[in-house]
Amino acid sequence: MERIPILRMGRLLLVTIQVDMHDRLAMALQEDLTSRIVKDRANGVLIDISALDIVDSFIGRMISDTAAMAKILDARTVLVGMQPAVAITLVELGLTLQGVRTALNVELGMKMLEQHD
């Protein structure tokens, strides 16, 4: 089964979603990410969804759940690179991802994570 790679940069974890998310993949990512946060003692997670064209309510929920889990494990999550169409869809679905911090691109997201170190 394919998995989404999780890269480590210092105490940050970088997740770049380059493929179409389906539900099993999303669940696997959630599991991998939480165990990696613990194993690598990460204090920040950056999720890049700039290649994601379509989201449904499940993926939206998954993202906000992942951020909440990371927060419990004392790592901050920044979601970067959301496409306008995806943002509109999520808002129409009523998923405003309260509690998840966002940035326009990876560069700004990194800056955001570093600033609070």
- How many CA within 13 A on the CB side of residue 94? 0
Applying CB under 8 A, among 15, 33, 37, 82 the residue interacting with other proteins is 82
Residue 47 found at the interface with other proteins (CB under 8 A): no
Could you tell me the smallest distance in angstroms from the CB atom of residue 50 to other proteins? Answer: 10
Residue 88 found at the interface with other proteins (CB under 8 A): yes
Q: Which is nearer to other proteins, 57 or 96 (CB)?
A: 96
b/e code 75-86 from CB counts within 10 Å (16+ = b):
bbbbbbbbeeeb
